[in-house]
Chain A
Amino acid sequence: MDRINPWGGLSDKTGWVRLPLGPRPPQADPAFTTVRSTGNPRLVRLSIQLFALARDKAGRSVVPLELPDGANVADLRAALAAGVPALAPLVPVLLIAVDSEYARDEVVLRPESQVAAFPPVSGGTAGGVA
């Protein structure tokens, strides 16, 4: 698997991408506040599964990402777009699933989350045939 390293020294030797996020608005989650105040940020490592056009554009079926503790689906989108430039144009319309449920941008990711990103499903007009 090729190394994603769009920020020079920010990517460690494991190939995981650390996303440099800007300041976040105050969070209600006390765990997040604790992490920030101790200056000891934990990281959430995720393997994002890609399907259909998203996989083809990325040229791989899994993208490993490393996000700050407390990161949500919107942060994940930003990391995907930054880490896999070929996916960037598609990222705004990709659907994100967390643990087999469609996830809105505000859903917070956990280390154990099973995350997938993919384009809208085949759809078809109402009453249409496969």
Chain B
Amino acid sequence: MIELTHEPIDPGRVIESVRSHQAGAICLFLGTVREFTGERQTRSLAYEAYTAMAEARLTDLEAEARARWPIVALSIVHRVGDLELGDIAVAVAVSTPHRGEGFAACQWLMDTLKQVVPIWKQEVWADGTREWVHPGLDPSNAPPFES
């Protein structure tokens, strides 16, 4: 299940979407809205996606993960729009025969998602100012091309 949604993410539904008697493990990752980044206080976050491309890249990520690990089922759900503190921004769930490959696949999926899937977040700081988070703006960073 690959989804971008404006609605709150229900982790129970994400888990159920990958549960299978062919699997001995389900690894679930949830990314949530954190209040403090160092000294700076967040009031809320706004996520924006280039939907068509994000869905295409997420579908590619699923295919690549399935080629690397013996995945029984896989779900990635990403929220877009305005999120409050503690809200779930992203859920990645993988079911696998054994836990080792589940942990590995889940971490790889989340790390790669954050590099290649065109979804951006904007911090709304406690003082009301807004700031896009684009850590890769440093020109020395390599673009996310496959090589």
Contacts and interface: CB of A to CB of B under 8 A. Distances in A.
A129 B91 CA distance: 11
Looking at A49, A114, A120, the one whose CB has the most chain B CB atoms below 10 A away is A120
A122 B119 CA distance: 7
A35 interface: no
Given A95-B143, A102-B144, A127-B107, A120 B134 contact: yes
A71 interface: no
Interface stretch (B12-20, B50-58, B63-71): B50-58
A32 interface: no
Contacts of B116: 102, 121
Contacts of A118: 50, 118, 120
A100 B56 contact: yes
B132 interface: yes
A120 B122 CA distance: 13
Interface string B83-121: 000000110000000000000000100010011111111
Interface residues of B, number: 35
Contacts of B107: 127
Looking at B134, B137, B139, the one whose CB has the most chain A CB atoms below 10 A away is B134
Contacts of B50: 49, 51, 97, 116, 118
Given A102-B145, A121-B119, A121-B136, A52 B111 contact: no
- Describe A's contact surface by its main secondary structure: loop
Given A100-B57, A121-B114, A122-B119, A129 B34 contact: yes
Contact of B132 (A53, A100, A116): A53
Interface of B: 31-34, 48, 50, 52-53, 56-57, 89-90, 107, 111, 114-122, 132-139, 141, 143-145
Going nearest first, the 6 A-B pairs with the smallest beta carbon separation are A120-B136, A130-B31, A52-B120, A123-B135, A130-B89, A100-B53
